[in-house]
Amino acid sequence: MKRLIYTIFAAAMVASAAAQECPQIANIINREKVSLNGEWNYIVDVQEIGYYDYRMNPTPWGFFQNAKPQKPEDLIEYDFDKAATMQIPADWNTKDDRLFFYEGTVWFKKSFDYKKTADKNTFLYFGAINYESIVYLNGKLLGRHEGGFTPFNFDVTDYVNNGENTIIIKVDNKRGKEKVPTQIFDWWNYGGITRDVYIVETENVFIQNYNFDLDPKSRSQIFFDITLNQNTAGAKVEVSIPELKVKQTFTSDRSGKISGSFSVKNLVLWCPENPKLYNVQLKLGSTVLNDQIGFRTIETQGKKILLNGKPIFLKGISIHEEKPNGGGRANCTDDAKTLLSWAKELGCNFVRLAHYPHNEFMVREAEREGILVWSEIPVYWTIDWENPATLLNAKRQLSDMILRDQNRANIIIWSIANETPHGYAREQFLAALAKHARSLDSTRLISMAMEVTSASNYVNRLNDNMNRYVDVISFNQYIGWYRDVDDAAKMTWDIPYNKPVIISEFGGGAKYGYHGDKNQRWTEEFQENLYRENTLMLDKIDGLAGTSPWILKDFRSPRRVLNGVQDYYNRKGLFSDHGEKKKAFYVLKKWYEGK
């Protein structure tokens, strides 16, 4: 049976924190909450003059104090109430022309009225802030969170006022060697409060988290774990799945945990053709928590991936979390629906959500539409392999990703890295992540995007010591883009592992509407021919179980500077940034139709 991970790896806190970042509250979408989205004031602080530690410098200059002049001669050189506003959630790069390339500190302020309910807990929840956030409520430090793509929350029961309140957040998206991701990566470093912000109210004792798993052998037994927010023995939780005629009550142990199982009959398994979800209800006291959960099995058998015991070919595409029309961070269900509709039009049953955990709307919408998911943390390229703090950061992000999405039936692969250079320190780092993922979730597959390490004549060999730690051998290859496309027809592959193979990336760039000869780089014809030759080559790979070509749509990247062609876009999309299909789209669509 699976793990209890609910109190593991709460994010690092500054020593003087007044409140405490508590373990992640699961299924925030279906809980009672008040949205703090909307208009927030912001101040750009290039030199971080507004960041003074109030213990050492009790002056009104620290922006977190939201100070106001008390007499005419008072000198206060900021005023949030007169500052510009931004609609949150958002990235500042596309909301303020001055900040398009900006990496640094921006302060955000939100005032709101709140009516406290007696004998209830109050939490402040953030879907994600990129990258580092230091959060203050009513002038008091709540804590610091690092990592740009995972949710976090603070218990503010003792710090929220009955009436007017003010949140101030220092947001910093500067890159750093020791961070995850590190200094160099091939996507736009969108800064800001990029996902939803909520006030969540709960009972004093409540269900913090839970997970449900189908027994892969019997497929008639469901195991579950439930964790309460505190060590409470004797709490009774009713588990109900009305459609399956399940309704049983279970009692927590002294650590506030419940582990149990129950039998079911006539269970319909979740699959792409029939993405069946059951309404699951958890009742503690007078509070009922609902979720929609599907049940399926995923495993490997030799070089096959088996979904519900049957081989499946993963007809995939990679996707960045960028809005479908015009760039900017995607952050709502409508964005997810549009991007996934393009993937389904391509014929996909699978998406690789690269290179970081995407927003919860994306994962849940994919689940409703029957699309399998590869979910990844941003351990990318040259991470600071020997830094213990960097490993701890990566583990936290991995934990938070798994914790948020562990009940989503469509997620079948947890990915721990992308294109990392070989070496002893790298292998120790990634092995620790693989073991950590396995300890948190033994029911899904583990993989990572490797690189082909040697080539001789027309033989490509994969030789990666991480093969011992993953269930699926996945690697990126760019024949036709970083070497001649004609080489594809002659290429053979040496993959010496008895495991399924996913080509996690292949492809090449083209500017939509630019036409010419098939050998003329950047034309749609060049990309079209590249896809045609690559798909013929990939069909020869023994054990090929799926692909996720790079990428669904063009996306912004500061590395891509060619004037008139790239213009700060990675042009490897099968769709343009505005959703126009390139000619290669039809090559891949036809290939998938034959799978």
Burial of 308 (0-12, 13-18, 19+ CB in 10 A): middle
Helix axes 360-369, 333-346, angle to 10 degrees: 40
pLDDT at 8 (0 to 100): 34
As given in the structure block, the two tokens for residue 546 are: 């799926």
pLDDT at 54 (0 to 100): 45
Question: Helix, strand, or coil here: 385?
Answer: coil
d(CA 271, CA 295): 9
pLDDT at 313 (0 to 100): 98
For residue 181, whether the previous peptide bond is cis, meaning omega lies within 30 degrees of 0, is yes
Residue of 265, 159, 248, 259 whose CA lies nearest to 210: 259
d(CA 161, CA 216): 49
d(CA 322, CA 319): 8
541-567 exposure pattern, b = at least 16 Cβ within 10 A, e = fewer? bebbbbbbbbbbbbbbbeebeeeeebe
d(CA 189, CA 384): 19
Token pair 């020869």 in the structure block, residue: 540
pLDDT at 220 (0 to 100): 93
The total number of residues shown for the chain amounts to 595
Residue of 372, 464, 358, 450 whose CA lies nearest to 411: 372
Who's near 523: CB < 8 A, 6+ residues apart? Answer: 510, 511, 514, 515, 516, 517
Residue of 518, 520, 540, 541 whose CA lies nearest to 587: 518
Residue of 369, 362, 356 whose CA lies nearest to 414: 356
Strand order in the sheet with 298-301: 298-301, 304-307, 310-311
pLDDT in tens, the chain (595 residues): 444 433 333 333 333 345 667 899 999 999 999 999 999 999 999 999 898 654 445 455 689 999 999 999 988 889 999 999 999 999 999 999 999 999 999 999 999 999 988 889 999 999 999 999 999 999 999 999 999 999 999 999 999 999 999 999 999 999 999 999 999 999 999 999 999 999 999 999 999 999 999 999 889 999 999 999 999 999 999 999 999 999 999 999 999 999 999 999 999 999 999 999 999 999 999 999 999 999 999 999 999 999 999 999 999 999 999 999 887 999 999 999 999 999 999 999 999 999 999 999 999 999 999 999 999 999 999 999 999 999 999 999 999 999 999 999 999 999 999 999 999 999 999 999 999 999 999 999 999 999 876 667 788 889 999 999 999 999 999 999 987 777 788 888 999 999 999 999 999 999 999 999 999 999 999 999 999 999 999 999 999 999 999 999 999 999 999 999 999 999 999 999 999 999 999 999 999 999 9
pLDDT at 18 (0 to 100): 53
pTM: 0.94
d(CA 459, CA 477): 13
DSSP state letters, 159-204:
T--SEEEEEEEEEE----TTSSS-S--SS----B--S-EEEEEEES
DSSP state letters, 440-503:
H-SSSEEEEEEE--EEETTEEE---GGGGT-SSEEEE--BTTTB-GGGGGG-EEE--SSS-EEE
d(CA 292, CA 275): 11
Residue of 392, 378, 464 whose CA lies nearest to 426: 464
d(CA 166, CA 547): 48
pLDDT at 14 (0 to 100): 34
Residue ranges and CATH numbers for the domains of the chain are: 20-202 (2.60.120.260), 207-298 (2.60.40.10), 310-508+523-551+584-593 (3.20.20.80)
